Chain A
Amino acid sequence: MTTKDQSLGPLANDGLSPEERDLFSDARPVPYQPYPIEVVEKFVNWVRANSLFMLAFGTGCGAVELNPLMTARYDAYRFGFQPRPTPRQASVFMIGGYASVKTLKRIIRSYEQMQGPKFVVALGICPVNGGMYWDSYNTVNQFDLYIPVDLYITGCMPRPEVLLAGVLELKKKIKEGRADGHNRYIENLDWYKANQKRIIKNWDMPDYSW
């Protein structure tokens, strides 16, 4: 993998053993550069907003309301919102609720494997401030310390109508070009990584899962 921005140097990949280190890329991710012509960028943003491939990760309770969202009652397919089973092809990451520390590790890996521009939507109150589990020893209280969240849909549970409203809100944000979590993540990669490593004690994966 080639890297363009070498100013900060390659990633350390401290968590890997020396023989494993050769197997993984240590390149830094590069921020997304918009198209030079503004109209093109606007058009592409409009298309992006209307073709949302969702990667659903049922990390918690919130995932249970994704089922009604995709079926006859609410039918989010109408808005160009389709489930996609693999991170590589998805553009929206739906995180279904609270994340335990163990899940957070998987969330990070799944998120990094997605190809940019990508957007993160977190469901429920728990990702915002811990919700019901604010005092639990195993659930994360503030999601945006670890991955960049573009949209929170709060509630316990968020109803499908709210999810639908959230989808429309996300579309609006993408159209206006305000959903830039992907770039925030890359530009502040070291800060995010430090936060992640502080709570994930057995960090045995590459610093950026390409």
Chain B
Amino acid sequence: MIYAKRRKRMSTQEHNAPIDLESGKYVKIWQGPQHPGITGNMALELVLNGDEVVDCKTHVGYLHRGFEKLMERRTFIQNFPIVCRIAVPEPTFNEYLYAAAVEELAGIESPQRAQWLRTLNLELMRLASYLMWLGGIGASFGQATIYQWTVTHRDYVLDLFEEMTGARVYHMYIVPGGVRAGLPEGFEDRARAVLDGVERLLNEIEKVLFKNVVFKARAKGLGIISKEMVDPYGIVGPNARAAGFTRDLRRDEPYLVYDQLDFDVVTGTESDAYARAKVRHQEMREGIRMMRQILEQMPTDGPFQAKMPNVLHWEVPAGETYVKAECTRGEYGYYLVTDGSQYLRRVHVRGPSYTHAIAVMEKLAVGTNIADIAGLMVSLHTYPPEIER
């Protein structure tokens, strides 16, 4: 306790004084872009005083492909296969949001069965992404076993994707107007088996990771997001929920069929890395519960694609809209502007990592031990590709 207090006092002192790199008191190190402890391809420029980080600057743009530019010069249907490439670990949310935005502007209604299939697809994606994240948080605190277990189980979820869509990572499943295909025979049973397996894994992780003294000692009290920070920094999703806000777009502004599903919004109180991990861990259970309901209630026949205009001459009327969905990191949104031609006027992809990985990370890193930077970074759950697109 005393130690923690003293450290706090020291860090405020350092923060007020200007950092003079020439004085020899500080060390500047770079974490990334080629560094195993960084999520994806980005860099942190850290200034250290001993073991303590006194200044942090993020550098992004290593993955910049100019998506928004490329989408402006592709027709509406040509855009559909490339949107999923924006965020690698969670392509489905991009597909859904793009499809939903185009449908809204073009006035197309996707059939009921397609909505159920989309929900299933999104929830499976959430599960896969969270599994990878759990592995990441384990590995960043030195628990490689958790990483191996979760990534393996993620593979079983990817198998379900392969059955459902034909691809492991980039599914290109949710097209404007519906989905590309129905479910293969016997899919429900195999899906249930995988979900049971993941649930068993979650129980084990509860024992091995969350009840582990070392993990508690490391993650508790690390990177606390205060309640006052949430709005000025635009913090959304599990990071905000861990701070005690019950904000979940699936419940607040239900899209697809979420209003017909029974689930709880998980919140935490401590708002540190441990609480954020716990919230996500609990959300995986909620997701599994949701998917079981979907598998039960889903209509098994009926059309899964709406009648579409000839996509080669598809002109979407002028207009603009913003659609959003709750992805694993929070509010993911697509802002589309059309001008009545066959091409988009403007698209903007709003990724939650945009603020989590830059403004929030730069704030939280100050005063943290250098050993905790990787854990802090992972606990915020950031994907660089959606920052720079």
Contacts and interface: CB of A to CB of B under 8 A. Distances in A.
Contact of B64 (A57, A63, A73, A138): A138
Contacts of A68: 151-152, 154-155, 158
Given A106-B34, A136-B69, A60 B148 contact: no
B384 to A, nearest CB: 9
A65 B61 contact: no
Interface stretch (A8-16, A29-37, A96-104, A176-184): A96-104
A156 B82 CA distance: 11
Given A72-B148, A73-B152, A135-B73, A61 B65 contact: no
Interface string B56-73: 000001111110011001
Contact of B65 (A56, A72, A98, A156): A98
A141 to B, nearest CB: 12
A117 interface: no
B69 A110 contact: no
Contacts of B61: 100, 102
B219 interface: no
Contacts of B82: 132
A155 to B, nearest CB: 10
Nearest to B86: A61
B205 interface: no
A135 B155 CA distance: 33
Contacts of A137: 66, 69
A104 to B, nearest CB: 10
Given A61-B85, A110-B34, A156-B170, A135 B70 contact: yes
Interface string A63-75: 1110110011100
B151 A67 contact: yes
A91 interface: no
Interface string B84-99: 0100110000000000
A43 interface: no
A64 B168 CA distance: 11
A100 B41 CA distance: 11
Contacts of B73: 135
Interface string B149-187: 001101100100000000011100000000000000000
A133 B169 CA distance: 18
Contacts of B169: 61, 64-65, 157
Interface in B28-66: 33-36, 40-41, 61-66
Interface string A59-92: 1110111011001110000000001010100000
A209 to B, nearest CB: 12
Contact of B41 (A73, A103, A135, A156): A103
A61 B88 contact: yes
A138 B154 CA distance: 32
A87 B36 CA distance: 11
B132 interface: yes
A159 B40 contact: no
A60 B41 contact: yes
Contacts of B33: 57, 59, 103, 106
A139 interface: yes
A58 interface: yes
Contact of A100 (B63, B85, B147, B158): B63
Given A60-B63, A103-B63, A133-B70, A85 B36 contact: yes
Contacts of A133: 65-66, 70
Interface of B: 33-36, 40-41, 61-66, 69-70, 73, 81-82, 85, 88-89, 132, 135, 147-148, 151-152, 154-155, 158, 168-170, 385
Interface of A: 55-61, 63-65, 67-68, 71-73, 83, 85, 87, 98, 100, 102-103, 106, 110, 132-133, 135-139, 156-157, 159
13 contacts: A58-B40, A58-B41, A59-B62, A59-B63, A61-B169, A68-B152, A73-B155, A83-B36, A100-B64, A102-B61, A103-B62, A135-B70, A157-B168
Given A85-B36, A100-B64, A133-B66, 15 more contacts: A59-B33, A61-B169, A65-B168, A67-B135, A68-B152, A68-B158, A71-B147, A71-B148, A100-B65, A103-B41, A106-B33, A132-B85, A135-B70, A137-B66, A139-B65
